């Protein structure tokens, strides 16, 4: 994707978020933000999978180059999602009437205002890593060096795994730290890079290239495309956040 194409995509995302806010009025803030990640999700389902990418890049050098690029690609998709959020915020600013400042209930300490988002960001990365290895499953084959390798999960399995994994993370941090879905969403851009750095060192990648077909991976997380991770991670984070809100409401009024 060229620089001009990237700017065009960001502008389209901003426009979609802006229009989505007014189409879904009076719930524009809550529903409008779903427009861009939903569009990316459709794209992510139709764009193939990681195994296809490995098949057209069979050598060690090619795969190293591919994963070096994929490590940073989620940040681009997160920027597209952020552009959509920006359109929603602009729509909200235009539509909303100015209100007097309200004294919101603050967290226990000033330290927690800065510490809780960091905990939520790092915790979401770790929770997503753990849950994806559980939910993104397919055929496993024994490997004497790695223990086992896993075949490329089906697209539907990846959709389920990413949605549930980030939903769990967002639910936990909303429930216990009262943290927005923004931080689990931001974590969706870090999970892929973390997995590539931790699990795809040169010797492991060389072993995979030499011993297994292109459709096999040493870790479930590395079988998920960045656009799939960010698109479904965003939708899962928003869903998990609102499930926690609903759960808290139910606990108070049950």
Model pLDDT, residue 108: 57
Model pLDDT, residue 97: 61
pLDDT (tens digit per residue) in 125-177? 999 999 999 999 999 999 999 999 999 999 999 999 999 999 999 999 999 99
Model pLDDT, residue 102: 47
Please compute, for residue 152, the number of CA atoms within 13 A of its CA located in the half-sphere on the CB side.
16
pLDDT-based confidence at 80, cuts 50/70/90? very high
Alpha-carbon distance of 84 to 185, in angstroms, equals: 13
Alpha-carbon distance of 215 to 122, in angstroms, equals: 30
pLDDT average, residue stretch 229-252: 95
Using alpha carbons, list the distances in angstroms from residue 66 to 53, 187, 188, 212: 8, 21, 19, 18
Q: How many domains does the chain have?
A: 1
Model pLDDT, residue 24: 84
Model pLDDT, residue 119: 96
Checking if the pLDDT of 99 tops 60, the result is: no
What does 213-242 look like in DSSP terms, one character per residue?
-TTEESSGGGGS-HHHHHHHHHHHHHHHHH
Taking CA 161 as the corner, what is the angle to CA 169 and CA 166, rounded to the nearest 5 degrees? Answer: 20
* Residue where the block lists tokens 């195994």: 51
pLDDT-based confidence at 30, cuts 50/70/90? confident
pLDDT (tens digit per residue) in 187-236? 999 999 999 999 999 999 999 999 999 999 999 999 999 999 999 999 99
User: Which domain does 208 fall in, by range?
Assistant: 3-98+107-253
pLDDT (tens digit per residue) in 32-63? 999 999 999 999 999 889 999 999 999 999 99
pTM: 0.92
Task: Residue 215: name the closest of 151, 142, 140 by CA.
Answer: 151
């Amino acid at each position: 994707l060229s620089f001009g194409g990237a700017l065009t995509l960001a502008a389209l995302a901003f426009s979609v978020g802006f229009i989505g806010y007014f189409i879904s009025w009076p719930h524009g803030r809550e529903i409008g933000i779903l427009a861009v990640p939903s569009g990316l999700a459709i794209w992510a389902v139709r764009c193939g999978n990681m195994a296809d990418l490995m098949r057209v890049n069979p050598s060690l050098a090619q795969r190293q180059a591919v994963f070096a690029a994929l490590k940073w690609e989620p940040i681009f998709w997160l920027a597209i999602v952020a552009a959509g959020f920006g359109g929603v915020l602009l729509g909200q600013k235009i539509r909303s009437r100015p209100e007097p400042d309200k004294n919101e209930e603050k967290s226990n300490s000033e330290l927690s205002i800065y510490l809780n988002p960091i905990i939520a960001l790092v915790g979401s990365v770790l929770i997503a890593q753990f849950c994806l290895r559980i939910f993104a499953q397919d055929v496993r084959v024994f490997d004497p060096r790695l223990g086992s390798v896993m075949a490329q999960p089906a697209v539907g399995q990846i959709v389920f795994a990413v949605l549930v994994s980030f939903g769990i993370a967002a639910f936990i941090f909303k429930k216990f730290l009262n943290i927005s879905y923004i931080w689990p969403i931001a974590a969706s851009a870090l999970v892929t890079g973390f997995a590539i750095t931790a699990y795809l060192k040169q010797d492991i990648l060389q072993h995979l290239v030499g011993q297994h077909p292109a459709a096999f991976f040493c870790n479930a997380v590395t079988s998920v495309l960045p656009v799939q991770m960010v698109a479904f991670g965003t939708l899962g984070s928003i869903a998990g956040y609102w499930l926690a809100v609903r759960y808290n409401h139910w606990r108070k009024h049950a």
